[in-house]
Amino acid sequence: MDNVKGIISSKEVSGIADYFNLYRRIKQEVEDKKPQGEKNIKIAILSSFTINGIKETLFVKCWELGISPIFHVGEYNQYAQEILNKNSGLYKSDPDLIIIFIDIRTIMGEYYLLPYQISDEQRKDLLGEKLKEIQSLIQKIEENSSAKILIHNFELPSYSPLGIVESKQKFGFIESIETLNADLRNAFKNDSQVFIFDYNSFCSRIGKQNIIDYKMYYIADMKLNLQYVSELCNEYLSYIKPMLSLSKKCIVLDLDNVLWGGIVGEDGLEGIKLGPTPEGRPFLEFQRYLLSLFNRGVILAINSKNNLDDAVKVFREHPYELLKEEHFAAMQINWNDKISNMKAVAEEINIGLDSFVYFDDDKLNREMIENALPEVKVVDLPEDASIYLKTLMELNDFNSFYVSEEDKKRGQMYAGQRKRQKLSKRTIDITEYLAALDMVVTIEKANSFNIPRIAQLTQKTNQFNMTTKRYLEEDIKRFSENKDYLVSSIKVEDKFGDNGIVGAAIVKKGEERWIIDSFLLSCRVIGRRVEETMLAYILEEAKEEKEKTLIGEFIPTKKNIPAKGFYKRNGFKLVEEKDGVGKWEFLMANEYKYPEFIKVDKK
């Protein structure tokens, strides 16, 4: 793996030719030495035209992230045949992600350049039939594969043969494609397996006059300029990262010249640049977008060399300071070095350094963090503050396939966590502290409401996770519909607030024994004996069905050390150990009780 990263870092990439070169070198290294990526993914790409360069570029970008990819690329314009044939190379490749790239010229055929050769009704019928064909193809994929499906929508033309009266038509050429895009979006809005890639917006961002190299279009039917393949692959990574639990969780921010312009310790509260002025607007709008990320569940934290009192005064008194103290899960504002502060932030929030994205205007500080803590993603913040917002908006590290209610409330949950920490410092005895929280744990079998959150927890939870098996929403739904599985979620409330659904368990039922497939809990509630409550519930359910034993497995990873020893501490006996993986057994004849100070509500 280090050799592959060395190959990538040794060459400055300036164009598509560099990606082809890196692809050949990495492929040779992989074939010779067979390095293993930290994650693996199988990707299928189906297209209606020639797509040279996408596989090669995405291959390099995956390895850059530590991902080992395997590709299946469909034959030229054979997407329908591959999808309809259940014995095709598409299904034999058993992909995790299927990318479908059909272009609007293929959809409309000769009517793309002669749209008014047919009537409005005929054009409506044509595009309606094409939508039905796409829906039918997607349905066929879903029958034969559990892969995530990413289908492009269609580029809106930037021209019309009717010129300036195009918008006056009853059902014009451009409006017809707008309608097709809207219908495509609505058709799969509630399908968790299918996502629409907004190719039209991508083309607008690039510039629709640039998206096609017409010489290559006529020679080789290439409808995407090779110059922009790299940017398209960056967009695909927005979907690949959450699939492989590589999304980031927390933005760590410097203060001076990041959240506001100037140095508060020197310029004072009135002197910093923040507000509806030419100098202050870049920072105000940067904060607005940070707040929007906070509202969808991204954690915010501070790592700043500064006087605490000066910074707090800005949070409390500046009229245009949008981000307040309660928006930050951790605030390391002192004169310690940035590396120590970053470690302190990770410890306080209780998440890994690889979950962090760091913003700092000082290049030296950025280099220090990059060298000392390579797990942290350090943003190369531009010198011009007017580009801060654009830089933040272009990050694709915070995506997830589902935004839960727990995500939306995460900021409030961390504010409650700080109050719990204050209580724990005032309370000497741990049992006394836990009892004082007045916890209520709600255990609920999998249903349409909690299935997306259960899947999300399997993808994101690392520390208290006995097996670290990752599942998609479709997998959890399949388990829940199988009578041979018990799938449950755990919700925790206390006097400081609602933590939401923070845990999950998946148990395979057998004739005389049950086997725990997944048993996991968010780091926010580790150590509050919620895990014991969850185990007591599983044992209670197993005893009701006259089972004799419960089997639990612990598969060690770099991150799940907090889960090690849980089975041993709770009455399980080690019955097998191989390659570090332990298999533990609990006999149902043994007694196991719920913690007395936790109220349990079972649904």
CATH number where 93 lies: 3.40.50.1110
Alpha-carbon torsion 522, 523, 528, 532, what sign? positive
What pLDDT does residue 87 have?
Answer: 95
Q: Check if the beta carbon of residue 261 is closer than 8 Å to that of residue 385.
A: yes
DSSP strand pairing (497-509 vs 485-494): antiparallel
Can you read off the two tokens belonging to residue 239?
């979907």
One domain for residues 193 and 270: no
One domain for residues 27 and 164: yes
206 vs 407 pLDDT, higher one: 206
Q: What is the mean pLDDT of residues 9-34?
A: 85
For residue 8, name the pLDDT band (cuts at 50, 70, 90): confident
Per-residue DSSP letter, 183: H
d(CA 577, CA 565): 14
d(CA 491, CA 352): 23
d(CA 574, CA 464): 19
Helix (H, G, I), strand (E, B) or coil at 282: helix
pTM beyond 0.85: the answer is: no
Q: What is the mean pLDDT of the chain?
A: 92
What pLDDT does residue 7 have?
Answer: 80
32 pLDDT above the threshold of 90 = no
A 10 A CB-CB count for 324 gives 11
Last residue of a domain, one of 243, 269, 285: 243
365-396 confidence digits (pLDDT tens): 999 999 999 999 999 999 999 999 999 999 99
106 pLDDT above the threshold of 60 = yes
Last residue of a domain, one of 183, 209, 243: 243
Q: pLDDT > 70: what percent of the chain?
A: 96
Q: Check if the beta carbon of residue 157 is closer than 8 Å to that of residue 173.
A: yes
For residue 86, name the pLDDT band (cuts at 50, 70, 90): very high
Domain annotation covers residue 302 = yes
- Angstrom CA distances, 275 to 256, 270, 387, 393, stand at 15, 11, 16, 20
Helix (H, G, I), strand (E, B) or coil at 193: coil
For residue 254, name the pLDDT band (cuts at 50, 70, 90): very high
156 pLDDT above the threshold of 80 = yes
User: Going by C-beta distance under 8 Å and a sequence separation of 6 or more, which residues neighbour residue 445?
Assistant: 480, 486, 487, 488, 603
Q: Which domain holds residue 282?
A: 250-393
One domain for residues 570 and 526: yes
One domain for residues 152 and 206: yes
d(CA 345, CA 360): 15
One domain for residues 217 and 280: no
Which residue, 275, 276, 356, 340, is CA-closest to 304? 340
Q: Check if the beta carbon of residue 433 is closer than 8 Å to that of residue 275.
A: no
Which residue, 509, 513, 487, is CA-closest to 572? 513
Q: Check if the beta carbon of residue 534 is closer than 8 Å to that of residue 444.
A: no
One domain for residues 478 and 527: yes
Which residue, 65, 63, 85, is CA-closest to 75? 85
Domain annotation covers residue 400 = no
Domain annotation covers residue 591 = yes
One domain for residues 255 and 228: no
One domain for residues 156 and 181: yes
Can you read off the two tokens belonging to residue 402?
């589902």
393-433 confidence digits (pLDDT tens): 999 999 988 887 777 777 667 666 666 666 566 555 677 87
Helix (H, G, I), strand (E, B) or coil at 276: coil
One domain for residues 138 and 262: no
Which residue, 371, 340, 337, 369, is CA-closest to 356? 369
N- to C-terminal Cα separation, the chain? 47
Domain annotation covers residue 406 = no
Domain annotation covers residue 408 = no
Alpha helices in 11-160 (DSSP H): 16-33, 54-64, 79-84, 89-92, 104-108, 120-144
Angle, nearest 10°, between helix axes 16-33 and 229-243?
Answer: 40
One domain for residues 257 and 342: yes
Burial per residue of 270-302, b for 16 or more beta-carbon CB atoms within 10 angstroms, e otherwise? eebbbbeeeebbbbbbbbeebeebbeebbbbbb
Domain annotation covers residue 398 = no
One domain for residues 177 and 254: no
Q: Using the structure block, give the residue that is written with the tokens 């191989």.
A: 578
d(CA 279, CA 276): 8
Q: Check if the beta carbon of residue 244 is closer than 8 Å to that of residue 39.
A: yes
Per-residue DSSP letter, 584: E
Give me the number of domains the chain comprises. 3
A 10 A CB-CB count for 603 gives 10
Beta bridge partners of residue 251, listed in sequence order: 300, 357
One domain for residues 233 and 261: no
Q: Check if the beta carbon of residue 474 is closer than 8 Å to that of residue 466.
A: no
Last residue of a domain, one of 184, 215, 243: 243
Which residue, 495, 460, 496, is CA-closest to 326? 496
What pLDDT does residue 524 have?
Answer: 80
d(CA 166, CA 156): 13
Domain annotation covers residue 409 = no
Angle at 396 between CA 12 and CA 17, to 5 degrees: 30
Domain annotation covers residue 56 = yes
CATH number for position 318: 3.40.50.1000
232 pLDDT above the threshold of 90 = yes
CATH number for position 525: 3.40.630.30
Q: What is the mean pLDDT of residues 60-68?
A: 93
